[in-house]
């Protein structure tokens, strides 16, 4: 007997509550069991129609838009990929803050934020397993799988839209702690290099500096220098994919443990010294929601695995 269920093509109208989302994000939420690569393929091939026509994945759906969704086969009820107990425990113990509108986690390194190509589940799927009665829970932003630290989720549509608006107008301040290769020379350094994503959607993609790319700004500040590495604080007011990693590599100080843009031979040596992950941690997240006057700020302390490496460098 098949372990899949066939869902025929359907048409639906976008409600006021649903409006404002990117089309791809709407589809990710609607077809949570599907790999992201399959959803991107739907969009590329025009299987998803908005008001009768094809549109970009970045299109923000509007109230009254008519969506035509293609037929799909989804895993039958009870066929979901089992979530490892260690991941359930890690996420359950990672809550930094919770109120009626927000959930803030200290995301563990090595756990993706959502399922995707080659990834059976991520933080959002783990949370839905832990909180089956939660009526609404959506990611407000993303972190790389290898990055730990502050991850923000919205507990209602109103808050999610407010957070997206805050991001669009540059009202979110994100600060990271990173270990870079080499002893940093000089003081703080601002980097303003545009970035472009290359490679097919849903496949293994990279980010590169490109004059025609999107603007990306990073501020690097040395916190503690060692002979062979430097602990940096990095502040960004744009959120391009792999922004800190690419900017650091362009400066000649790649992040330790970076298997995309780093020094591979150096990373092998650091693994022998105990660094088995990307040395990047989302330390602080601060923002002011539209209509509010007081900023909100959340911090996640440097995790034990990175703290151990820093202590070893001090010794």
Q: What is the pLDDT of residue 193?
A: 94
Mean pLDDT over each residue of the chain, to the nearest integer: 89
Q: Is the pLDDT of residue 115 over 70?
A: yes
Q: For 8-17, 34-43, 140-149, 303-312, which range has the lowest pLDDT when averaged over its residues?
A: 34-43
Domain ends where: 55, 75, 95? 75
Tell me the mean pLDDT in the region 78-85: 73
Q: What is the pLDDT of residue 204?
A: 62
Q: Are residues 284 and 179 in the same domain?
A: yes
Q: Binning pLDDT at 50, 70 and 90, where does residue 309 land?
A: very high
Helix (H) / strand (E) containing 27: helix 23-30
314 falls within a domain: no
Q: Is the pLDDT of residue 174 over 90?
A: yes
Q: Are residues 111 and 69 in the same domain?
A: no
Q: For 82-96, 139-153, 195-209, 275-289, which range has the lowest pLDDT when averaged over its residues?
A: 195-209
CATH, residue 137: 3.30.70.580
Q: Are residues 112 and 234 in the same domain?
A: no
Domain that holds residue 22: 4-75
Tell me the mean pLDDT in the region 89-95: 96
198 falls within a domain: yes
307 falls within a domain: no
Q: For 88-92, 135-139, 191-195, 276-280, which range has the lowest pLDDT when averaged over its residues?
A: 135-139
Q: Are residues 218 and 103 in the same domain?
A: no
Q: What is the pLDDT of residue 94?
A: 97
Q: Are residues 200 and 273 in the same domain?
A: yes
Closest CA to 284 of 206, 207, 223: 223
Q: Are residues 71 and 89 in the same domain?
A: no
Q: Is the pLDDT of residue 315 over 90?
A: no
53 falls within a domain: yes
Count of domains forming the chain: 3
Distances (CA, A) of 12 to 15, 49, 51, 236: 9, 11, 10, 38
Residue 144 annotated in active site: yes
Q: What is the pLDDT of residue 298?
A: 97
Query: Burial level of 145, CB count in 10 A (0-12/13-18/19+)?
Result: middle
Domain ends where: 43, 75, 107? 75
CATH, residue 31: 3.10.290.10
Q: Is the pLDDT of residue 1 over 50?
A: no
Domain ends where: 154, 183, 203? 154
Most confident option among 19-23, 75-79, 135-139, 261-265: 261-265
CATH, residue 179: 3.30.2350.10
313 falls within a domain: no
* Catalytic entry in 144, 258, 263, 305: 144
312 falls within a domain: no
Q: What is the pLDDT of residue 276?
A: 93
């Amino acid at each position: 007997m098949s372990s899949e269920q066939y869902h025929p093509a359907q048409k639906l109208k976008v409600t006021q509550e649903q409006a404002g989302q990117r089309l791809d994000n709407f589809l990710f939420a609607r077809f949570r069991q599907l790999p992201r690569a399959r959803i991107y393929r739907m969009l590329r091939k025009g299987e998803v129609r908005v008001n009768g026509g094809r549109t970009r994945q970045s299109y923000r759906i509007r109230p009254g838009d008519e969506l035509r969704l293609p037929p799909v086969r989804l895993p039958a009820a009870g066929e979901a990929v089992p979530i490892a107990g260690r991941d359930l425990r890690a996420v359950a113990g990672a809550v930094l803050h919770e109120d009626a509108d927000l959930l803030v986690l200290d995301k563990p390194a090595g756990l993706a934020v959502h399922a995707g190509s080659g990834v059976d589940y991520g933080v959002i799927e783990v949370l839905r397993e832990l909180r089956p009665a939660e009526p609404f829970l959506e990611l407000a932003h993303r972190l790389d799988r290898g990055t730990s630290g502050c991850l923000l989720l919205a507990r209602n549509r109103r808050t999610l839209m407010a957070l997206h608006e805050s991001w669009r107008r540059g009202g979110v301040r994100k600060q990271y702690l990173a270990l870079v290769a080499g002893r940093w020379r000089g003081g703080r350094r601002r980097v303003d290099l545009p970035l472009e994503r290359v490679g097919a959607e849903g496949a293994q993609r990279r980010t590169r500096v490109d004059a025609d790319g999107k603007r990306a700004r990073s501020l690097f500040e040395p916190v503690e220098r060692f002979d062979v590495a430097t602990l940096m604080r990095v502040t960004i007011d744009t959120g391009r994919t792999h922004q800190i990693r690419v900017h650091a590599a362009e400066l000649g100080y790649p992040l330790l443990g970076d298997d995309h843009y780093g020094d591979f031979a150096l990373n092998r040596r650091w693994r022998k010294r105990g660094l088995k992950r990307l040395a990047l941690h989302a330390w602080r997240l601060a923002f002011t929601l539209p209509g509010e006057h007081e900023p909100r700020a959340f911090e996640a302390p440097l995790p034990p695995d990175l703290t151990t490496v820093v202590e070893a460098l001090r010794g």
